[in-house]
Amino acid sequence: MDRQIAFPGDPGFASFYPGSVVMVSAVDAAGKADICTVGAWALVNGAPRLFGIAMCTTTHGASYWKRYTTTCIDETGEFVINIPDLSLRDAWMACGSVSLVREPEADKFALSGLTPAVAAVVNAPLIAECPVSIECRVHSRLALPTHDWIVGEPVAVHTADRVASGDLTLTWENAPALSES
């Protein structure tokens, strides 16, 4: 296999390698909800089960600025990881292209055609159209130069009947993914 190598400062060193996408929902202390499309997330611990999400916390160039969802998580210590299926591509693209930091009056649920649903434990809304939603409380946080790795401990998991029955399987082959255009 032919390969290219790049070092810091070289073109291609900062390439984005896509993975699956989640939509993180949260609510601020005043009750305003937000949704952020997140391309860096993972199961990070087995027992207790913990999930990590990378949330931008600072302005760095044109692509990085603190997301309002991060402010919501800071204020409440809660968030929901909503796992979409491919039918929600337009919705996650809409949520990823609008910022409440820059457009504070925006309603991402309305803009994306998504429906907020009441969570069982946390105050943050679920996204009703997502087949899996994981309610989390912040467990810990790792500060990095442009993002924080926020680790959440799940307190409830909502799974659509079509996933639980095996009619829909979320796999790498059909997972939503971000890609550079």
- pLDDT (tens digit, 9 = 90+) per residue, 105-152? 889 899 999 999 999 999 999 999 999 999 999 999 999 988 899 999
pLDDT attached to residue 174: 54
∠ at Cα 16 (15, 17), nearest 5°?
115
To the nearest whole number, what is the mean pLDDT of the chain? 85
Higher-pLDDT residue of 154 and 3 is: 154
Domain 22-164 has CATH 2.30.110.10: yes
Q: What is the DSSP string of 26-93?
A: EE-TTS-EEEEEES-EEEEEETTEEEEEEEE-S-BTTTB---HHHHHHHHHSEEEEEE--GGGHHHHH
Give residue 14's pLDDT: 59
Tens digits of residue pLDDT in 33-74:
999 999 889 999 999 999 999 998 887 777 777 888 999 999
Cis peptide preceding 104, ω within 30 of 0: no
pTM for this model (two decimals)? 0.86
Between 35 and 7, where is the model more confident? 35
More confident residue, 94 or 6: 94
Cβ atoms of residues 92 and 85 within 8 Å: no
pLDDT at 32 over 60: yes
- For residue 91, CA distances in Å to 28, 177, 180 come to 21, 13, 17
Structure tokens at 148: 């924080």
Paired strand residues for 152: 51, 138
The set of residues, in sequence order, having a beta carbon less than 8 Å from that of 38 and lying 6+ positions away, is 21, 22, 23, 24, 53, 54, 55
pLDDT of the residue at 100: 73
The end-to-end CA distance of the chain, in Å, is 25
Of these ranges, 10-24, 82-96, 137-151, 167-181, the one predicted with the greatest mean pLDDT is: 137-151
pLDDT of residue 162: 85
pLDDT surpasses 60 at 181: no
28 C-beta neighbours (distance < 10 Å), count: 19
Q: Which amino acid is at 71?
A: T
pLDDT band, very low/low/confident/very high, at 178 (cuts 50, 70, 90): very low
Tell me the two tokens of residue 80.
Answer: 């929901």
pLDDT at res. 180: 41
Q: Is the pLDDT of residue 11 over 60?
A: yes
* CA 43, chain centre distance (Å): 13
Separate counts of helices (H) and strands (E) for the chain: 4, 9
